[in-house]
Amino acid sequence: MPANPAWVKALKPSGPQGSELLAQERNRSQLPVESVSEFLFSKEHLESKRRILKILQEDPVFDKTPDYYAGRAERFERALARAKRLRQLKVKHSWTQDELYLANGLISDSGAYLLHDGMFTVTIREQGTPEQHEKFLRPAERYEYIGCYAQTELGHGSNVRGLETVAEWQPDEKCFILHSPHLTASKWWIGNLGLVANYAVLMAQLVIRGKSYGPHPFVVQIRDLKTHEPLENVHIGDIGPKFGFNSMDNGFLLFNKVKIPHISMLARFSRVDPETNEYVRPPSASLVYGTMTLVRASIVKAAGHALARGVTIATRYSAVRRQFVDKDAPEWETAETPVLNYRMVEIRLLTNLAATFALHFTGKTMMQLYQRQHDSMNKNPGNPELSGNLLADLHATSCGLKALASSIAAEGLETCRRACGGHGYSNFSGIGPFYTEYLQNTTVEGDNYLLTQQVARYLLKSAEAVLKGAPATNDTTTILKQYLSRQGQGAAFDVLNNDADIVSAYAWRASFLTFEALKQRQEQKMGWNDMLVDFYRLSKAHSQYLVVKSFYSTLEDPETVDKLDRSTLDVFRSLFRLYALHTMEQEGTDFFAASACNLQQLTLARTKSVMSLLKEIRPHVIRLVDAWDFPDYQLDSSLGRYDGRVYEDLFVRASERNPLNNLTIDPYPFSPTLIRVDKSQSKL
Amino acid sequence: MPANPAWVKALKPSGPQGSELLAQERNRSQLPVESVSEFLFSKEHLESKRRILKILQEDPVFDKTPDYYAGRAERFERALARAKRLRQLKVKHSWTQDELYLANGLISDSGAYLLHDGMFTVTIREQGTPEQHEKFLRPAERYEYIGCYAQTELGHGSNVRGLETVAEWQPDEKCFILHSPHLTASKWWIGNLGLVANYAVLMAQLVIRGKSYGPHPFVVQIRDLKTHEPLENVHIGDIGPKFGFNSMDNGFLLFNKVKIPHISMLARFSRVDPETNEYVRPPSASLVYGTMTLVRASIVKAAGHALARGVTIATRYSAVRRQFVDKDAPEWETAETPVLNYRMVEIRLLTNLAATFALHFTGKTMMQLYQRQHDSMNKNPGNPELSGNLLADLHATSCGLKALASSIAAEGLETCRRACGGHGYSNFSGIGPFYTEYLQNTTVEGDNYLLTQQVARYLLKSAEAVLKGAPATNDTTTILKQYLSRQGQGAAFDVLNNDADIVSAYAWRASFLTFEALKQRQEQKMGWNDMLVDFYRLSKAHSQYLVVKSFYSTLEDPETVDKLDRSTLDVFRSLFRLYALHTMEQEGTDFFAASACNLQQLTLARTKSVMSLLKEIRPHVIRLVDAWDFPDYQLDSSLGRYDGRVYEDLFVRASERNPLNNLTIDPYPFSPTLIRVDKSQSKL
């Protein structure tokens, strides 16, 4: 479009300027931003990030300027170019895999090799034999084979056992025949399949002599390595535009009786003996268990980070955006108030700010637990039952936490977007586009509603064991036993004045709901289906307990006390209380029905505690979001700029960079007198 | 892309087919779909719709096939072409304005003349003098002037008094000078301004001899009528990509000391006398009041319709989509269950289905009330105080209801999207793209959070009057008085068995919260800001009461009883109870704290009533969504197809129509051996 005229360029936003307001905010608090960042991420991580950021910003491939305007094909191609360049930079700068992911996070593109690195090579490494490593993994590590992970089908997602794609063993020819018997057997949603991958790890029903042995993994070539065209009798394509993730080529895949050799079936755990044509069973399923737990724990931690992005943007913008004069202000007051001062904005943003830390600490705790568990299992393989018990606990809790955390983050991001008012609807806010990408987390790695059944099943089983007198072997059985032992006396938690009591109240309510559900299932013989709504509620209650407990324990941890100064720790304690009491109030009926607290406490939590916590935390909020350490490059947001130059940025993006402004159109419905001019293509 | 090979074309989804499952569902119920549709919309409306649909579907301009794949410029141009064609069709078929809107709704494009028809001409008509009608309205009606409504600025939205654009009266030259003193004065978000409009109704601060008289409307030419280029010292453009509404050219607009004549200021209500250079005040502000009320009432009604779109899609798809075998099924059972049979899906979809009717009836009630009010005011101008009182009630309640209804619809649409699992994330679901368009309703015509203050202010004022012994003059004061009179005795509502008691419990809780808030403000001298969270809660409670009451009253209305047969009416009564009891349970703490019901009732509502209502309604759900009468053309959804051919439709959209599949790319990061081929452009 024509450049902005001089008189427009001379304009400034009306004062006070955003930069002044953010500077004032930062001056209101002494919170040591850098040491909080180090506490959250470690010094090494921050240094890596800054080093990598510099490299990215110097490379035109990573310029984000055109991103928000681009159509789908352009976005895909841009993401592909970036993914390639990142692999080149990784070699050049000897980045670790973690540093590559860090770079990817700064770019925030889904990436053309995301599934290759994250699922294809990982699956072959974990489930392949040494011979298969040689044949498939080495070329994959050299990016000669570029893979995807093809499990979900058009007609089947969560119910993996119901997959329709068949791999039938041919005893005579010693090979498998892959086939898609129905349209619903088409692989669907497979990341990086649509245009990028030439190989796939394929989950298919293993059939030997007419008998099905359930889904197993196969490594299959799907495109020609030179022409990149699909192989014969293999039909592949991209599945079309999505709510988010549009730079990713999620794809479909169908086979028409395609032969693959014996070596294609990943055979570390189970295999077909080519001599006897017999199926050889896997020793145990617990290893796969473990990987899923780790993936879910990382979703929990990532949820905190994702939500923090929205909170950073909305909080900074709310400090800059001014609206109305306070109703109770003296009459001579005419200056408008930054909206962040309104209690209705505070309660939305500060509770979500508290949630970012709650989720971050919970994810961290989960990952440490997993690591400890994993190590002790490797050290003491002699006691598989005990380890199994702890692992099962970790597995179940990770299911519930994944569901809760990704729901909190998704809803929180939308809350942040709306808290930005009208400008939250602009893509330049940076929240909307990111929110649509994030939303897939509520469905992948286990649908958030389905997962809660696994948690409930585990809790009921634990409660049954406890009732039968089993000893407490993990946290779940411990709180259930504690509840039972005090049930007669009732609870008397001082939730308004004692942080440990808050945690106990959450444990009490989760235990109460567990035993209630058990009673309904066992005594009243209620059907599984009829209990799903209560199971959802139960899983949520138990996961909320885990979050509150992790938050509390992190602040009590001597390591934390060592890293944060006293007043910073006080701010975090206020954030803990805000998160815990606000959530308690939201779930009031439950807590009250469980006698975990009384009506007076609930009312006071809402009207007094939460309100004064908002005021305590308020001066520190800009520094707290600063501590999340998002570079402007990563946020790519007009509203969330570190320097507060919100309006200047919105204006430049709209006026100077917006390709729609190259058009002049004929506006008249009846008398088409004008030509359509595209100034980007012609000189008219 | 290459056509699907013959072996793919021969594939069918695995059975049972979606069409069979939907047929079974429709056979399970006798609900008379057509008469329910007529009850909701009237026979005439349905006939118009079908007639217009036929015209649209025969015209290639309205073919939606390419829409989901198109980039922003293409979408805008397509919408412009459709808007033009619609105006031509309107003339050809002598459509009324309502029929034009109906056509627009079927297309579901935002439309290039939306603001011209909806705001520009309307404002001139209502606020212009006969002379101004002659000068501006006539050419606008002929689409020679194409207008927009320029109020919101980069730095000001809700606080209209804070607008920065200035129109300064020049006593010597008898003209106004328009000027944008700051960057934040730029008009922003103005629909149809970015590329389409050549005129604007502009809200600007009227200044006479240095004194400001607040914002007033001016009619201003902004683009040349022949070249369509911006006029000198007028800077215009599109503001860039948004979360939704991307076929709309929301724009920005700045003025650099632009002179406009005296006639430009719309002068029906207030004006500048060009002889004396004095400001002439408007007689009363209540007329504007009225229009806003009507707009909000229509948002309430539209919320039901919008939500019904998502519910229709998700419900039909959930009847087709099968997942897992019921846990309690006998062991020999291997057929997977349609997910609609799972209680966790039912509770999400059926409560939202109930909400669609609740909102529809509430919107209808509001509009009737407004109409009755309007008529009686015109008939009895002698009693302005009484009318004013009722109008103020209607105004306040419309604020709260707009906020509640658009929130319910927005959240409900996202619930429906997620209830579709993975495929809900595909744009072909039809929910995601529509949801992003819908979301703007939570912010426009008053931000949903801000609006609640107006409701609270009104309720506090009413409570104060009632305490001072004022008579009950409208519904609000009536319920407040009833509460006061029974407060001593307490409430004893039989919410589980008596529908009228449910309504009373909602009234009781809203009244309780009103008097609580008044006490805090008056006795405890709580600051306005510190009460905002409680005000939000209060407004929500009052609006929920209104929704429940409207739903109940509609079903008690003799006209309804006349139109619906007995068993259909029973289904609607179940829907009423489901909506009211589920919401009550969600807001349990409030109801309990207000003693509007007891803990036992709340628990039973959740575990018994809601569960059995789900079972009662379940057989009728497909027919109930059918009654909303969305043509497939309007839904544009693979998942929501009337015939249940979900998977076939997804596959065709992905494989045959998806332009991304014209690309072949070079996938290798290190050895670029391949060319990029775009098959749509070359024959390679």
Share of chain B above pLDDT 90, in %: 84
Closest CA relative to residue A560, chosen from A365, A298, A374:
A365
- Say how many C-beta atoms besides its own lie within 10 A of residue A553's C-beta: 14
DSSP conformation letters of B444-501: TTS-HHHHHHHHHHHHHHHHHHHHTT----SHHHHHHHHHHHHTTT-----TTT-HHH
Helix (H) or strand (E) holding A207: strand A199-208
Q: Can you tell me whether residue A51 is helix, strand or coil? A: helix
Residues of B with a known catalytic role? 445
Tokens of B268: 């029906």
Instruction: Identify the burial level of B428 via C-beta atoms within 10 angstroms of its C-beta, where 0-12 means exposed, 13-18 middle and 19 or more buried.
Output: buried
Residues of A in contact with B155 (CB under 8 A): 13-14, 322, 647
Q: Do the Cβ atoms of B254 and A659 come within 8 Å? A: no
DSSP conformation letters of A327-353: TTS-TT--PPPBGGGSHHHHHHHHHHH
Residues of A in contact with B349 (CB under 8 A): none
Give me the pLDDT at residue B683, please. 38
Average pLDDT over residues B581-606: 94
Q: Pick from A11, A529, A534: which is nearest to B182 by CB?
A: A11
Instruction: Identify the burial level of B485 via C-beta atoms within 10 angstroms of its C-beta, where 0-12 means exposed, 13-18 middle and 19 or more buried.
Output: exposed
Render pLDDT for B439-467 as a digit per residue (tens, 0 to 9): 999 988 888 888 999 999 999 999 999 99
Q: Which amino acid appears at position A299 of this protein?
A: I
Average pLDDT over residues B646-669: 94
Render pLDDT for A301-343 as a digit per residue (tens, 0 to 9): 999 999 999 999 999 999 999 998 887 888 777 788 999 999 9
Q: Do the Cβ atoms of A328 and B237 come within 8 Å? A: no
pTM: 0.96
Closest CA relative to residue A25, chosen from A641, A575, A619:
A619
Is residue B676 very low, low, confident or very high in pLDDT (cuts 50, 70, 90)? low
The strand ranges marked E within B66-221 are 147-150, 166-170, 175-179, 187-190, 199-208, 211-221
Render pLDDT for B138-176 as a digit per residue (tens, 0 to 9): 999 999 999 999 999 999 988 888 999 999 999 999 999
From A99, A164, A346, A445, active-site residue = A445
Q: Pick from B71, B421, B663: which is nearest to A71 by CB?
A: B71
Higher pLDDT, B501 or B384: B501
Q: Do the Cβ atoms of B528 and A154 come within 8 Å? A: no
Give me the pLDDT at residue A675, please. 53
Task: Give the separation between CA A106 and CA A91, rounded to whole angstroms.
Answer: 18
Q: Which value does ipTM take for this structure?
A: 0.95
Q: Pick from A144, A242, A533: which is nearest to B427 by CB?
A: A242
Indicate the DSSP class of residue B322: B
Task: Give the separation between CA A271 and CA B634, rounded to whole angstroms.
Answer: 51
> What is the Cα gyration radius of chain A?
28
In a 13 Å sphere around the CA of B427, the CA atoms on its Cβ side amount to 24
pLDDT at B290 over 90: no
Give me the pLDDT at residue A389, please. 74
Instruction: Identify the burial level of B586 via C-beta atoms within 10 angstroms of its C-beta, where 0-12 means exposed, 13-18 middle and 19 or more buried.
Output: middle
pLDDT lower than 50: segments of chain A: 682-684
Q: Do the Cβ atoms of A426 and B674 come within 8 Å? A: no
Is residue B383 very low, low, confident or very high in pLDDT (cuts 50, 70, 90)? low
Helical ranges in A94-192 per DSSP H: 97-107, 114-115, 121-127, 130-132, 138-141
Render pLDDT for A419-445 as a digit per residue (tens, 0 to 9): 999 999 999 999 999 999 999 999 888
Q: Can you tell me whether residue B677 is helix, strand or coil? A: strand
Instruction: Identify the burial level of A55 via C-beta atoms within 10 angstroms of its C-beta, where 0-12 means exposed, 13-18 middle and 19 or more buried.
Output: middle
Give me the pLDDT at residue A683, please. 38
Is residue B675 very low, low, confident or very high in pLDDT (cuts 50, 70, 90)? low
Please say whether the beta carbons of A533 and B347 come within 8 A. Answer: yes
Q: Pick from B436, B531, B602: which is nearest to A589 by CB?
A: B602
Task: Give the separation between CA A274 and CA A281, rounded to whole angstroms.
Answer: 14
Tokens of A536: 């959802």
Give me the pLDDT at residue A376, please. 77
Task: Give the separation between CA A584 and CA A578, rounded to whole angstroms.
Answer: 10
Q: Do the Cβ atoms of B235 and A602 come within 8 Å? A: no
Render pLDDT for B359-382 as a digit per residue (tens, 0 to 9): 999 999 999 988 888 787 777 665
B609: closest CA of chain A, how far (Å): 13
The strand pairing partners of A215, in sequence order, are: A205
Instruction: Identify the burial level of B323 via C-beta atoms within 10 angstroms of its C-beta, where 0-12 means exposed, 13-18 middle and 19 or more buried.
Output: buried
Average pLDDT over residues B590-618: 94
Residues of A in contact with B72 (CB under 8 A): 69, 71, 660
Closest CA relative to residue A669, chosen from B382, B92, B274, B654:
B92
Q: What chain A residue is nearest to B411 in terms of C-alpha separation?
A: A411
3-state SS record for B416-443: HHHHCHHHHHEHHHCHHHHHHHHHHHHC
Give me the pLDDT at residue B375, please. 81
b (16+ CB within 10 A) / e for A251-267 = bbbbbbebebebbbbbb
3-state SS record for B645-671: CHHHHHHHHHHCCCHHHHEECCCCCCC
The strand pairing partners of A235, in sequence order, are: A254
Q: Can you tell me whether residue B377 is helix, strand or coil? A: helix
- Clarify whether A445 is annotated catalytic: yes
Render pLDDT for B389-437 as a digit per residue (tens, 0 to 9): 777 888 899 999 999 999 999 999 999 999 999 999 999 999 999 999 9
Closest CA relative to residue A74, chosen from B644, B501, B665, B379:
B665
A426: closest CA of chain B, how far (Å): 4
Q: Do the Cβ atoms of A664 and B14 come within 8 Å? A: no
Please say whether the beta carbons of B463 and B522 come within 8 A. Answer: no
Is A152 marked as a binding-site residue? yes
Render pLDDT for A259-291 as a digit per residue (tens, 0 to 9): 999 999 999 999 999 999 999 988 765 555 567
Give me the pLDDT at residue B487, please. 84
Mutation pick from B232, B344, B615, B653 vs chain A, by most beta carbons of A within 10 Å, is: B344
Query: Binding-site residues of B, please?
Result: 152, 191
Give me the pLDDT at residue A673, please. 55
Q: Do the Cβ atoms of B185 and A14 come within 8 Å? A: yes
Tokens of A610: 């939460």
Render pLDDT for B304-319 as a digit per residue (tens, 0 to 9): 999 999 999 999 999 9
Please say whether the beta carbons of B222 and B256 come within 8 A. Answer: no
Tokens of B566: 């007995």
How far, in Å, are B30, B133, B642 from residue B320 at the CA level?
Answer: 20, 56, 11
Q: Do the Cβ atoms of A7 and B233 come within 8 Å? A: yes
Mutation pick from A1, A164, A184 vs chain B, by most beta carbons of B within 10 Å, is: A184
Mutation pick from A665, A671, A674, A675 vs chain B, by most beta carbons of B within 10 Å, is: A665
Give me the pLDDT at residue B388, please. 63
Domains, chain A, ranges and CATH? Answer: 28-109 (1.10.540.10), 117-282 (2.40.110.10), 290-626 (1.20.140.10)
Please say whether the beta carbons of B223 and B194 come within 8 A. Answer: no
3-state SS record for A232-299: CCEEEEECCCECCCCCCCCEEEEECCEEEEHHHECCCCCEEECCCCEEECCCCCHHHHHHHHHHHHHH
Please say whether the beta carbons of B437 and B244 come within 8 A. Answer: yes
Lookup result for tokens 């798809």: B317
pLDDT at B326 over 90: no
The strand ranges marked E within A393-517 are none
